[in-house]
Amino acid sequence: MSAEYATFGLAPAMRAGGVLADGGYQVHRDFVDFIVDGRPLLFQLSDLDAVSPLASDVPPAIFTAQVRSLLLEAQAPLPGGRYVIYGCPECADLACGAVTAVIDKEGGDFIWRDFAWQTEEHADLELNGYHGIGPFRFRGADYRDALGTLLDAHTEPPRRRVLLIGARVAVLAKLAAALRTIGIGAEITHDVSGVPADELRTYGAVAFGRAVSEQQRATVRRAFTAAGVEVAYVDGLAPIVPLLVAQIEHALDRSPAEQRRLTRLVVADGEAGVEVTSPCRVRLTAYRLDFLYRTHTHEVFDGVLEAGRHRIALDAKAVKGESFVVARTAGGVLVEAMAR
């Protein structure tokens, strides 16, 4: 085995939830990803929709057990010294498939090797092994320090609550229901002046409807500033629930910008410009409002893109008038209004 070292780190990551064009839902998951040699390890695993076992919504005792397991302070959960590195974001059931690896210690070093896709108790390396990934040798001190930070009781969990402010109560109610369905807390209000500061500190984002005045917005911002909390502010593009959900998902993304897979979306002149940093599946959905304010939804692209910039033609009927495009990968989402 090569004695060359790889760097090991951790970074917040997100499995983007959303309301899909077919009417289905995709659950929002915040997790901690493994950063190997400066890049998320997940990006090396083709177009995999998965999360690490270090997810923020698991009970604290289980989260701590997962960390200690990766530190080899507990017995491996699978035969052959194998550990789950990434699993199903919906149910975490091995039967849905998981990326596993053997974790060993050699001297003071930690070694991740023999990566495989596993759906049963035993892994078949010949049939399902990731032969181009690893082994990775990590310096023990760096490895332990990185994982040890997750055991700090003072680590702040992601704030997955959103405050909704707008004039159209029916739209806000549908939006709140959709957000709760995918795992994001949501409350509706018109006035934050009486909300205690401790409660304001539980929100990660505030979404404004288009009819909310600048004066109202300024009042809300002052309240959060006085509470000593930074939140993401979302200016709703249109009263279209899946579109607003996508905007809020983007606002809640805590992953470092330099480690995101979907980095750019521009829509103009009947085209979408998309940039991705590694090969992945990208879905483009167009939403438009007609003159009666009815919503029309069009799936305009669904395919795997190689790393780089791409120009994708859009159906003229999908983006005429007041229209918007959502670009989605498993780990992120971007939203843009069609330039007029």
pLDDT (tens digit per residue) in 128-174: 889 889 899 999 999 999 999 998 755 666 788 999 999 888 999 99
Mean pLDDT of the chain: 90
Same domain, 241 and 280: no
Which amino acid, residue 99?
Answer: V
- Cis peptide leading into residue 135 (ω within 30°): yes
pLDDT (tens digit per residue) in 288-337: 988 888 899 999 999 999 999 999 999 888 888 889 999 999 889 999 99
Decide if 274 is inside a domain: yes
Same domain, 172 and 186: yes
Same domain, 12 and 132: yes
**Cα 147 versus chain centre, distance:** 21
CATH code: domain of residue 311: 2.60.40
Decide if 68 is inside a domain: yes
Q: Which residue has the higher pLDDT, 68 or 152?
A: 68
* Nearest-angstrom CA–CA distance, 63 and 53: 8
From start to end of the chain, where are the E strands? Answer: 8-15, 18-19, 25-26, 29-36, 39-40, 82-86, 98-106, 109-118, 136-138, 161-165, 185-188, 205-208, 232-235, 262-268, 271-276, 280-289, 295-305, 308-313, 322-329, 332-337
Decide if 75 is inside a domain: yes
Which 8-state DSSP code applies to residue 55? B
pLDDT band of 213, cuts 50, 70, 90? very high
Mean pLDDT of 98-108: 93
Please tell me the predicted confidence (pLDDT) of residue 340: 64
Decide if 35 is inside a domain: yes
Mean pLDDT of 30-57: 91
Mean pLDDT of 55-75: 91
On the question of pLDDT at 181 being above 60, the answer is: yes
- Residue whose token pair is 């701590």: 64
Same domain, 238 and 135: no
Mean pLDDT of 194-206: 90
- DSSP strand pairing (161-165 vs 205-208): parallel
Please tell me the predicted confidence (pLDDT) of residue 309: 97
Last residue of one domain, picked from the residues 121, 152, 183 = 152
CATH code: domain of residue 247: 3.40.50.2300
**Helix pair angle (241-251, 169-181), 10° resolution:** 60
95-99 contacts at long range (C-beta below 8 A, 24 or more positions apart): 95/119, 95/120, 98/50, 99/45, 99/48, 99/50, 99/130
Within a 10 A sphere around the Cβ of 199, how many other Cβ atoms? Answer: 13
Same domain, 36 and 142: yes
Residues sharing a CB contact under 8 Å with residue 217, sequence separation 6 or more, in sequence order:
208, 233
- DSSP strand pairing (185-188 vs 161-165): parallel
Please tell me the predicted confidence (pLDDT) of residue 1: 45
Please tell me the predicted confidence (pLDDT) of residue 154: 53
Decide if 271 is inside a domain: yes
* Nearest-angstrom CA–CA distance, 38 and 50: 19
Same domain, 70 and 29: yes
Same domain, 183 and 238: yes
Same domain, 58 and 121: yes
pLDDT band of 60, cuts 50, 70, 90? confident
Decide if 88 is inside a domain: yes
Last residue of one domain, picked from the residues 152, 186, 211 = 152
Same domain, 122 and 170: no
Say if CB 243 and CB 216 are below 8 A apart.
no
Mean pLDDT of 227-233: 92
Decide if 108 is inside a domain: yes
Mean pLDDT of 80-95: 88
Same domain, 14 and 110: yes
Last residue of one domain, picked from the residues 251, 268, 283 = 251
Decide if 1 is inside a domain: no
Same domain, 244 and 266: no
Please tell me the predicted confidence (pLDDT) of residue 90: 85
> Can you give the residue range of the structural domain that contains 77?
8-152
* Nearest-angstrom CA–CA distance, 306 and 276: 7
* Nearest-angstrom CA–CA distance, 131 and 279: 18
Same domain, 282 and 230: no
Angle value at C-alpha 209, between 205 and 213, nearest 5 degrees: 105
Number of separate domains in the chain: 3
Mean pLDDT of 29-51: 91
